[in-house]
């Protein structure tokens, strides 16, 4: 299964993607975590294996981008969109949790450099090809906003989780995300609430979502924020265990996979 975690900026996408990856890993699934945010930080949520260093995002690997896009071989600014992704993935992979994979594919252009259609088209290819290895679950941590949906990068996903926090703005973004996902033919789009303070907030968010049911709700917990402050992967706090385990199982059970 390939799961894309999307949503408004700062709502908890990376936190949720990292926690889900760890829960699946603990349950015996072979997990590939994909950081698709050029401002990469999914590695901070995962226990990297001995000797593994935080991966450099593709955004920082001009050499690989040029190889992937064929930019260097075509004259006249034309870009070739048939990257040999198999060639670069091993170079980008780092190991965590005893052999699970993490690749950092975040990618952007500097300010004022115009359209980056070619980069997104290539990223789309990379994401489609990413399950060629022995992997059961791919978790994609998207960059903030709707870029991966509006550009179709997330089309390779089997399911999408849209993270919302207690607040109307992230819920509005979630509806926009669902509309774009539907355009891509993705019908499994589930809102998940992260960082609620009390049951009243869960109820209010569900009301704002109307008949679109929250698939899970994870409370605010100081350990998550403290670990971020201290620059280490958080322990999974007790109050988050049950909703996370249920969410992990529900996603697997309710998602037909892209492989037979």
Ligand X SMILES: Nc1ncnc2c1ncn2[C@@H]1O[C@H](COP(=O)(O)OP(=O)(O)OP(=O)(O)O)[C@@H](O)[C@H]1O
Positions that interact with ligand X (CB under 6 A): 7, 9-15, 37, 144, 194-195, 218, 220-221, 224-225, 228
- By the 10 Å C-beta count (0-12 exposed, 13-18 middle, 19+ buried), 94 is classed as buried
Closer to ligand X by Cβ: residue 171 or 218: 218
- Backbone phi and psi for residue 177, each to the nearest 5 degrees, phi listed first: -65, -40
Measured from the CB of residue 13, what is the shortest distance to Mg ion in angstroms? 5
Q: Which does 225 bind (CB under 5 to 8 A by kind): ligand X, Mg ion, none?
A: ligand X
Q: Which does 232 bind (CB under 5 to 8 A by kind): ligand X, Mg ion, none?
A: none
Closer to ligand X by Cβ: residue 9 or 99: 9
Closer to ligand X by Cβ: residue 8 or 125: 8
Measured from the CB of residue 12, what is the shortest distance to ligand X in angstroms? 4
> Which of 133, 93, 103 has the alpha carbon at shortest distance from 34?
103
Measured from the CB of residue 240, what is the shortest distance to ligand X in angstroms? 7
Q: In whole angstroms, give the CA distance from residue 163 to residue 137.
A: 19
Measured from the CB of residue 32, what is the shortest distance to ligand X in angstroms? 18
Q: Which does 57 bind (CB under 5 to 8 A by kind): ligand X, Mg ion, none?
A: none
Query: Nearest to Mg ion by Cβ — which residue?
Result: 14
Q: In whole angstroms, give the CA distance from residue 256 to residue 155.
A: 15
- Backbone phi and psi for residue 16, each to the nearest 5 degrees, phi listed first: -65, -45
Contact 89, 103 (CB under 8 A): yes
Q: What are the residues binding Mg ion (CB under 5 A)?
A: 13-14
Closer to ligand X by Cβ: residue 4 or 88: 4
H runs (alpha helix) in the chain: 13-26, 62-69, 85-92, 117-129, 147-150, 168-183, 199-209, 222-230, 238-254
Closer to ligand X by Cβ: residue 37 or 119: 37
Q: What does DSSP assign to residue 128?
A: H
Q: In whole angstroms, give the CA distance from residue 131 to residue 38.
A: 21
Q: Which does 15 bind (CB under 5 to 8 A by kind): ligand X, Mg ion, none?
A: ligand X
Closer to ligand X by Cβ: residue 118 or 240: 240
Q: Which does 62 bind (CB under 5 to 8 A by kind): Mg ion, ligand X, none?
A: none
Measured from the CB of residue 165, what is the shortest distance to ligand X in angstroms? 8
How many Cβ atoms from other residues are within 10 Å of residue 125's Cβ? 18
């Amino acid at each position: 299964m390939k799961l894309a975690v999307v949503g408004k900026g700062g709502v908890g996408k990376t936190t949720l993607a990292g926690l889900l990856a760890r829960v699946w890993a603990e349950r015996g699934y072979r997990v590939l975590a994909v950081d698709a945010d050029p401002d990469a930080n999914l590695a901070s949520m995962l226990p990297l294996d001995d000797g593994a260093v935080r991966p450099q995002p593709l955004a920082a690997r001009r050499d690989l981008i040029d190889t992937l896009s064929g930019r260097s071989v075509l004259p006249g600014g034309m870009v070739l969109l048939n990257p040999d992704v198999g060639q670069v993935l091993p170079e980008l992979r780092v190991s965590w949790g005893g052999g699970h994979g993490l690749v950092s594919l975040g990618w952007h252009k500097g300010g004022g450099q115009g359209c980056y259609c070619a980069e997104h088209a290539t990223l789309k290819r990379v994401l489609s090809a990413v399950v060629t290895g022995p992997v059961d679950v791919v978790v994609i941590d998207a960059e903030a906003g709707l870029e991966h949906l509006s550009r179709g990068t997330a089309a390779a996903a089997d399911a999408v989780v849209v993270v919302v926090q207690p607040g109307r703005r992230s819920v509005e973004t979630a509806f926009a995300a669902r509309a774009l996902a539907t355009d891509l033919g993705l019908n499994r789009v589930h809102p998940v609430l992260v960082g609620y303070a009390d049951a009243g907030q869960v109820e209010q968010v569900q009301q704002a979502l109307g008949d679109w049911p929250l698939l899970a709700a994870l409370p605010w917990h100081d350990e998550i924020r403290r670990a971020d402050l201290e620059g280490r992967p958080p322990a999974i706090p007790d109050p988050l265990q049950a909703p996370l385990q249920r969410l992990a199982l529900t996603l697997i059970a309710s998602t037909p996979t892209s492989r037979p």
